[in-house]
Amino acid sequence: MKTMVFAIYKPKEGSREELMKILDQHVPTLREYGMVSDRTAYMAQSTDNHLIEVFEWKSEEAKRAAHEHPAVAAIWEKMFALCSFAKMNDLPESDQEFPNFELIK
């Protein structure tokens, strides 16, 4: 079963630009190793500057494999240094019936 993920990142102070460079590699790397679909991935931001990455896992097995793949782990390690991870209810828009986000990629 394919699933869509909303990965939500809160950039650390002064790290947004560097985080964006790493995120530019994230989905292409997952795609290179057959973990995500060819559907368009999106990057948006909330009004308080959380970054929201939306993409589709190919399967549960692919999602699990990502957690064990060295190339993906290297990207995630860099991300951990540059941001914290958030939940949908951390976003100011989470209390809206139809939340809208600024599309940045």
CATH, range 3-87: 3.30.70.100
Round to the nearest angstrom and report the end-to-end CA distance of the chain.
26
Could you read off the pLDDT of 40-87 as tens digits, one per residue?
999 999 999 999 999 999 999 999 999 999 999 999 999 999 999 999
83-86: strand order across its sheet: 83-86, 3-11, 51-57, 42-45, 102-103
Question: If we measure between CA atoms, which residue out of 47, 29, 27 comes closest to residue 105?
Answer: 27
Residue 53, SS3 per DSSP: strand
Q: What is the pTM (predicted TM-score) of this model? A: 0.93
- Please say if the pLDDT value at position 2 is more than 90: no
CA-closest candidate to residue 16, choices 81, 82, 78, 92: 82
Question: Could you tell me the residue ranges of all domains in the chain?
Answer: 3-87
pLDDT digits (tens, 9 = 90+) for 13-23: 999 999 999 99
- The model's pLDDT over 83-95, given as tens digits with 9 standing for 90+, comes to 999 999 999 999 9
